[in-house]
Amino acid sequence: MAQTLKLWPEQEQILARLHEGFLAGHRAQVLYGPCGFGKTEIAVSMLDATARNNKRSAMLLDLKLLCAQTSARMEKYGIDHGIVQPKSPRWRPELPIQVCMVQTLEAREGFPAVKLLIVDEAHVLRESVLEFIRNNLSVYVVGLSGSPFTKGMGSVYTNVVSGVTVNELVDKGRLINPRVFIARQIDMTGAKKVAGEWSDKEATARGIKITGDVVAEWVSKTQEVFAGPRKTIVFCSGVAHGDDLAQKFQEAGFNFVSISYKDSAKDPEYVAQVLQEFSKPDSEIHGLIATDMLTKGFDVTDVCVGVSARPFVKSFSAHVQQLGRIMRPHEGKEESIWLDHSGNYLRFRDQWDDLCVNGVTGLDDDAEKVKPEPSDQDKEASKCPKCGHLWSASSDVCSHCGFERVRKNAVVALPGEMTELTLVPKKEKYSAEFKESFYAQLIGWTVEKNKKPGLAYYLYQDKFKVGPSMAKPAASPPGAEVLSWIRSRNIAYAKRRAA
């Protein structure tokens, strides 16, 4: 029996804001929502409402897996629809709602005539889709994305609608904030780049060099955190890297399966069977390994472990999508862990923290650019040298292993061991009044300099090594002490980049 589609209050607010955006003249809008927000439910609701108004609509997706998932979601709510995809048993072009694989439309050189077009994973800018949007001015367009950071989105989509942040969903229990561990990283020094990213060939060759470390750290951390294996997704650097990882995991006694675009093209039925087995709560597969196939829209909610073994130069979107695969809640799932062999978490750390707090308020062409690498000193300063557990901002004792941090200039580290990302606070004493005044002046400085409002939060955290606990104060003009401190941080940042 079909379920009734019922949206959360935040989702209803998003629909109202999209409607307001259309009325204001924004024909093409981006709907931003973190993984777990329910963007697909919102899309299904809009498609259904359009059909009830006797208008045609379509949703574009670029993977067979995503088409199948979206179709299943519509079946769940009893919404009839057709599917435009090779050999689909749901080929019913007469229906007002169509779920379309975009590659099929491109091959047929034609998009359906619709009033509403929903573009899934809108940050993937396909020229055919962009051309259709530009040339069909009577069509309303909503692009769905949990990471709308691709350069050029602002030239097509003129408005971003957002209703909730990652941190808000974590607070509501609708996302799980993963614990992040930093492991031995793939060395990409001097590697060649293709279209601004490291080449798959080079990343694969260098990734294979640390395959043994990836397997060993996974065994160690899953045993330490979960007392045994937990369902895992591994993001590898290429097909050969995935095959090598699968072999090494199997040699260690664990059933990991590598799937790739080659498998999808050669034997799609095999890939479908693997994904179906992995989706079972009692699956015999411990982990899946892939490059891009599992990055977006793959929703198996009981996955507890993510392994990042594909380094990026600037692809923050992919980093966000990958993290989202392990953040969905599931019955009995109390936590998730992220094992970073790629260096991506530290590379995108500031952006990720800002996204979690502030969400997305605009389309920024500078969002995806080459990020400065953290210094070795910064990396070491973020680690518990014994077990890798996250430091508490208010304690020098590791809550996981009881290791007591000794404050000294030289950082103690145990090479080769995975360590969990943390902040290292200072023990300086400041009055509550001083902190509130400092925060208000930081806010005032961001206003004067036309910076993002959330920057004040991170500057405060940098100064006091803990986030502000007071209510957000009104902005006040920055004084000499605050300006001097900001200059000192800018100088330090410039020196790190020049090093």
3-state SS, residue 480: helix
Asked if the model's pLDDT at residue 59 lies above 50, the reply is yes
pLDDT digits (tens, 9 = 90+) for 430-465: 777 888 888 999 999 999 988 887 888 888 888 888
Rounded to an integer, what distance in angstroms lies between the CA atom of residue 41 and that of residue 77? 10
- pLDDT over 70 for what percent of the chain? 87
- SS3 string, 42-90, reads HHHHHHHHHHHCCCCEEEEECCHHHHHHHHHHHHHCCCCCEEECCCCCC
pLDDT winner (highest mean) among 416-420, 442-446, 478-482, 487-491: 442-446
pLDDT at 379: 64
> Could you give all domains of the chain from N- to C-terminal order, each with its CATH number?
9-165 (3.40.50.300), 170-358 (3.40.50.300), 432-491 (no CATH)
Q: Which helix (H) or strand (E) holds 276?
A: helix 268-279
> Is 416's pLDDT higher than 60?
no
pLDDT of residue 173: 92
183 vs 255, residue with greater confidence: 255
What per-residue confidence (pLDDT) applies to 361?
Answer: 86
Phi, psi torsion values for 474, nearest 5 degrees? -70, 150
What SS3 class is residue 234? Answer: strand
By the 8 A CB rule, do 145 and 32 touch?
Answer: yes
Number of H helices, E strands in the chain: 18, 16
Is pLDDT of 332 > 90? yes
Residue 108 has a CB neighbour count (10 Å cut-off) of 9
pLDDT the model gives residue 295: 80
For residue 25, count other CB atoms closer than 10 A to its CB: 8
3: number of Cβ within 10 Å? 8
The Cα–Cα gap between 163 and 13 comes to 7
pLDDT of res. 50: 98
Confidence tier at 168 by pLDDT (50, 70, 90): very high
pLDDT at 412: 39
Identify the top-confidence range among 224-238, 261-275, 335-349, 422-436.
224-238
What average pLDDT score do residues 344-353 get?
A: 88
Tokens of 248: 């090494």
In this model, does residue 264 exceed pLDDT 90? no
Asked if the model's pLDDT at residue 421 lies above 70, the reply is no
The average pLDDT across 349-366 equals 87
Which residues pair with residue 347 across a beta bridge? none
Predicted confidence (pLDDT) per residue in 114-156, tens digit: 999 999 999 999 999 999 999 999 999 999 999 999 989 999 9
pLDDT tens string 278-321 = 999 999 999 999 988 888 767 899 999 999 999 999 999 999 99
Q: Which of the 8 DSSP states describes residue 344?
A: H
- Does residue 368 contact residue 315 with C-beta atoms inside 8 Å? yes
Q: How far is CA 112 from the centre of its chain?
A: 31
How far CA 463 is from CA of 147, 251, 353, 486, in Å, comes to 29, 48, 16, 10
206 pLDDT higher than 90: yes
| pLDDT higher at 362 or 222 | 222
Report which of residues 284 and 184 the model is more confident about. 284
* pLDDT confidence of residue 411: 34
How much is the average pLDDT of 79-94? 94
**Least confident residue range of 81-90, 212-221, 368-377:** 368-377
Picking from 49-63, 74-88, 358-372, which range would have the lowest pLDDT averaged per residue? 358-372
In this prediction, residue 207 has a pLDDT band, given cuts at 50, 70 and 90, of very high
Work out the pLDDT band at 424, boundaries 50, 70, 90.
Answer: very low
Element (H or E) spanning 201, and its range? helix 200-208
- List Cα–Cα distances, 173 to 20, 32, 94, 164, in angstroms: 29, 19, 41, 13
Say which residues have a Cβ less than 8 Å from residue 444's Cβ, sequence separation at least 6.
Answer: 475, 476, 477, 478
- Give residue 460's pLDDT: 87
Percent of the chain surpassing pLDDT 90: 60
CB 206 within 8 A of CB 258: no
Whether residue 5 is predicted with pLDDT greater than 50 in this model: the reply is yes
Mean pLDDT score across all residues of the chain: 87
C-alpha torsion sign, points 487, 492, 494, 495: positive
